[in-house]
């Protein structure tokens, strides 16, 4: 029984020693330090300020602001549809990596549709589960050609 109690005590000391050491070495806060502000509270205060400013506008100014916002949303949707939101080089690198790992997904993300290239690539990677790695290689080549706009 004595060995068991020593073993448990040793394990507890080893388990809680890093925590107690961290508490002992934690620097104490002085009264001259700035208190850490919550970013959510700052964002909420800024939002409330913007809402109060908007409510202070007259009807004509509110209408013009709504038109500006609608135009910005329309431009954002057009950019998203055209694929201009992400850096083109980064997008191409990520698609190339994905073409090696999951060829059908890379083709779908590049073309944004289920085309014949997607289905051929999907059919080519299915035999990989039965030992047909060479067909997977063909799917990777097809996906890379699609990603780099060779096909």
Number of domains in the chain: 2
Of 34-43, 45-54, 103-112, which range is least confident?
34-43
Indicate the Cα dihedral angle 43, 49, 54, 58, nearest 10°.
180
* Most confident stretch, 18-27, 48-57, 74-83: 48-57
Decide if 106 contacts 95 (C-beta within 8 A): yes
Query: Does residue 51 carry a pLDDT above 80?
Result: yes
Structure tokens at 36: 């850490």
Residue 10: per-residue pLDDT: 63
Quick one: average pLDDT of 62-83? 85
The C-alpha atoms of residue 48 and residue 52 are separated, in whole angstroms, by 6
Residue 130: per-residue pLDDT: 83
Query: Does residue 11 carry a pLDDT above 70?
Result: no
Whether the model clears a pTM of 0.85, i.e. scores above it, the answer is no
Indicate the Cα dihedral angle 53, 54, 60, 66, nearest 10°.
150
Decide if 124 contacts 136 (C-beta within 8 A): yes
Q: How many other C-beta atoms are found inside a 10 Å radius of the C-beta of residue 63?
A: 11
CA-based Rg of the chain, rounded to a whole angstrom? 30
Q: Does residue 31 sit within a domain?
A: no
Q: 93 and 74, same structural domain?
A: no
Residue 75: give the domain boundaries: 42-82
Q: Does residue 22 sit within a domain?
A: no
Q: Does residue 125 sit within a domain?
A: yes
């Amino acid at each position: 029984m004595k060995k068991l109690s020593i073993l448990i005590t040793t394990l507890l000391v080893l388990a809680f020693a890093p925590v107690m050491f961290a508490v002992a070495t934690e620097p104490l806060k002085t009264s001259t330090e700035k208190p850490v502000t919550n970013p959510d509270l700052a964002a909420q205060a800024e939002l409330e300020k913007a809402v109060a400013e908007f409510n202070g506008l007259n009807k004509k100014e509110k209408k013009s602001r709504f038109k500006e916002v609608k135009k910005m949303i329309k431009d954002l949707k057009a950019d998203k549809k055209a694929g201009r939101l992400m850096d083109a080089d980064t997008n191409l690198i990520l698609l190339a990596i994905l073409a090696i790992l999951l060829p059908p997904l890379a083709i779908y993300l590049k073309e944004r549709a289920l085309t014949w290239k997607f289905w051929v690539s999907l059919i080519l990677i299915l035999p990989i589960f039965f030992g047909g790695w060479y067909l997977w290689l063909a799917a990777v080549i097809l996906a890379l050609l699609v990603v780099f706009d060779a096909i």
